[in-house]
Amino acid sequence: MAQPLEGTGALLSVVVPAYDEAEVLPAFHGRLAAVLDGLPMAAEVVYVNDGSRDATLVRLQALRERDGRIAIVDLSRNFGKEIALTAGLDHARGDAVVVIDADLQDPPELIPELVRVWQEGHDVVYAKRTEREGETWLKKFTALAFYRLIQRVSHVHIPEDTGDFRLLSRRAVDALKQLREQHRFMKGLFAWIGFPQAAVAYRRDPRYAGTSKWNYWRLWNLALEGITSFTTAPLKLATYLGLATALGAFAYAAFVIYKALVFGEPVRGYPSLMVVILFLGGVQLLTLGVIGEYVGRMFNETKGRPLYLTKDYYPSDIRAE
């Protein structure tokens, strides 16, 4: 446990993945530090520098000089947010861990509320957005459609309108640390571990500075990740699609044979032939594609590589027990 401190003696860790966030970090840490000062417990902040190309690491080190609560995990390259988050969780030692974005879209001021609900006995306290400001209707619409879809096809309940901003109890973090898959759909993993969960509503602000690293291609890939790591329903879809096509083709063949026998058949028939070939070819390719998505992921998992490599680790001054 943490330094003997006022109040509960518990330690809160805050995990912050940061990729090219130099512009925002000083403002972010200012707001976060003010919130942590007001908490009745000790706190550490684990910043994960996810291979940033800008001055993020320098800024973090400068912040760490002045604030002993800061630890920095410096990854060897950019591994992506999901893995950066995992690296942070691995290094967090708190009795509870808050995961928050560095771009101030998640207000640090909500942390005391998350802590309060945790102390009431919930293991996962997620922040639920009531408004999405500074986002286009298209992003809102696609996000909604995605949640609806994944809800229907998978067995885990992934709450809508939540990001990664949440608090996890120690046992929830330990459970999560056992899930070492390469393809990490964090929202799904958070939901998969179960434990008593609760929501706290908040308004999501537009990004403070810098630019979002997300675009539709990345979002599409995230959606694919979410679906393939939480359900094999698309494989079933491929099966049924194949079955339906085969039945259709069979019926059509019977019809063609019947027609040829009863009415005779001149050389024609080229159009129907082409239609059938193209259709069957299309369905086969689609089915193969679906299977390929899963095979590719199995390939990645079987390599058994570590999730990330750490270049440097700068611990905080907070003593662990």
Q: What residues make contact with ligand UDP under the rule CB under 6 A?
A: 17-19, 21, 50, 78, 80-81, 84, 101-103, 105, 212-214
Closer CB to Mg ion, residue 103 or residue 225?
103
Residues 175 and 189: beta-carbon distance below 8 Å: no
Cα-trace Rg, the chain: 25
| Strand ranges (E), the chain | 11-18, 42-49, 70-75, 96-99, 124-132, 162-169, 197-204, 310-314
Percentage helix, strand, coil for the chain under 3-state DSSP, each rounded to 5? 50, 15, 35
Q: Which is nearer to ligand UDP, 89 or 102 (CB)?
A: 102
Sign of CA dihedral 176, 178, 179, 181: positive
Size of the residue set binding Mg ion (CB under 5 A): 2
Q: What is the DSSP letter of 205?
A: P
Q: Which does 102 bind (CB under 5 to 8 A by kind): ligand UDP, Mg ion, none?
A: ligand UDP
Residue 105 interacts with Mg ion (CB under 5 A): yes or no: yes
State the binding partner of 213 from ligand UDP, Mg ion, none, CB within 5 to 8 A by kind.
ligand UDP
Query: Could you say which of Mg ion, ligand UDP, none residue 50 binds, taking C-beta under 5 to 8 angstroms by partner kind?
Result: ligand UDP
Closer of 215 and 302 to ligand UDP (Cβ) = 215
Residue 78 contacts which entry, Mg ion, ligand UDP, none (Cβ below 5-8 A, type-dependent): ligand UDP
> Judged by CB under 5 A, does residue 50 bind Mg ion?
no
- Choose between 50 and 123: whose C-beta lies nearer to ligand UDP: 50
Integer Cα distance of 226 and 136 in angstroms: 22
CA distance 57 to 50: 9
